């Protein structure tokens, strides 16, 4: 058997098995047996399919649905959300390393504009430590990631040992989409959801190994 025929048969077999697999998935979806869209955030490996690809970058998972879509007017969350939204498209090229290292720097700028202060330190690890300190002071709250709401801070702190694993920080937006700095674009963007975030930073496939994700609400 020549190689092109063998290739065609292999491709056909793969295609058929994919159709069969997806048929089973879609059948369960229609009969209500699937857990798709349940909003379950049990781990980074859930909610892989049936999402709107235009809402997220290729390869990311659908957004988590926050328990409340808008922050109460006049609250810190509302102020942070408004400032984060207003900054969409803003360049971070003046930030560390021309915007490449500007995630915490941009979040701090948004906080400065909205609540009037920065969580000191343009690094994810120091920001995480200071947020924890603020929790002890009653000035912030640590939120279960499943209950994250617009205006909350989402953070996966970087670590350098035992392996280098680069983390990130962003601000939860409406529609389950996170505002964040894009290192590659040096720009404040909104493109992926909590599931997409977690499936990246908590993935065992992540370069340098998985990180933990935390959510915080600024109270005062």
Partner 1 sequence: MILKTLYSLIIASLLAVTPCFCEEDEQPEVESKIIVEHEYKGKSYRILSESEGYSGALYILRKDGEDWTAIAGDSSPFPLDQYGIEEKLSLELAKKFVEYEISTMGMAKVSENLSDRKKLPWDLKEAYSAHADVSHIRSVYRAKKKGLNPMVAALKKVENAQGADQLKLVVNKELAPYFHKIIIQIADEPKPELSSALFRALKSHPSLSELQQILAVYAANQERDFLSQVNSLPQDQRRVCAEALDAAVMAKLVGSKFSSPLKELVKTIR
Which 8-67 positions form the footprint of partner 1 (CB under 8 A)?
Answer: 15, 18-23, 25-27, 30, 48-51, 53, 58-61
Q: How far apart are CA 9 and CA 17, in angstroms?
A: 12
Among 81, 84, 102, 172, the residue binding partner 1 under the rule CB under 8 A is 102
Q: Is 115 near partner 1 (CB under 8 A)?
A: no
Query: Site for partner 1 (CB under 8 A): which residue of 179, 188, 200, 216?
Result: 200
Q: Is the CB of 3 or the CB of 207 nearer to partner 1? A: 207
Supply the minimum distance, in Å, between the C-beta of residue 67 and partner 1: 20
CB closer to partner 1, 2 vs 184: 184
CA distances from 202 to 19, 45, 125, 133 (A): 30, 9, 16, 24
Contact between 86 and partner 1 by CB under 8 A: the answer reads no
CA angle 160, 192, 117 (to 5 degrees): 65
51 vs 66, beta carbon nearer partner 1 = 51
Cβ-based nearer residue to partner 1, 79 or 109: 109
Classify each residue of 2-18 as buried b or exposed e, where b means 16 or more C-beta atoms within 10 Å of its C-beta.
eeeeeeeeeeeeeeeee
Q: Which 8-state DSSP code applies to residue 161?
A: S
- The CA distance from 149 to 60, in Å, is 20
Instruction: For partner 1, give the closer residue by CB, 25 or 78.
Output: 25
Site for partner 1 in 164-183 (CB under 8 A): 164, 166-169, 180-183
For residues 107 and 114, the answer to whether their CB atoms sit within 8 Å is: no
Q: Does 217 bind partner 1 (CB under 8 A)?
A: no
- 76 contacts partner 1 (rule: CB under 8 A): no
DSSP annotation of 170 reads E
């Amino acid at each position: 058997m020549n190689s092109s025929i063998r290739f065609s048969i292999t491709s056909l077999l793969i295609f058929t098995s994919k159709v069969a697999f997806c048929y089973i998935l879609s059948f369960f979806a229609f009969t209500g047996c699937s857990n798709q869209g349940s909003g379950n955030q049990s781990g980074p490996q859930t909610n892989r399919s049936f999402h709107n690809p235009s809402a997220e970058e290729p390869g990311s998972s659908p957004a988590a649905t926050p328990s409340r879509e808008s922050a109460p007017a006049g609250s810190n969350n509302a102020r942070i959300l408004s400032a984060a939204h207003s900054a969409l498209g803003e360049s971070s090229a003046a930030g560390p390393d021309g915007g490449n290292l500007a995630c915490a720097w941009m979040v701090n700028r948004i906080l400065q504009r909205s609540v009037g202060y920065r969580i000191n330190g343009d690094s994810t690890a120091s920001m995480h430590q200071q947020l924890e300190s603020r929790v002890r002071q009653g000035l912030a709250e640590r939120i279960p990631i499943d209950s994250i709401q617009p205006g909350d801070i989402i953070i996966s702190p970087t670590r350098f040992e035992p392996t280098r694993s680069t983390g990130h920080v962003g601000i939860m937006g409406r529609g389950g989409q996170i505002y964040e700095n894009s290192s590659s674009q040096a720009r404040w963007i909104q493109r992926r959801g909590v599931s997409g975030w977690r499936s990246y930073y908590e993935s065992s496939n992540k370069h340098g190994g998985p990180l933990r994700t935390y959510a915080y609400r600024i109270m005062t």
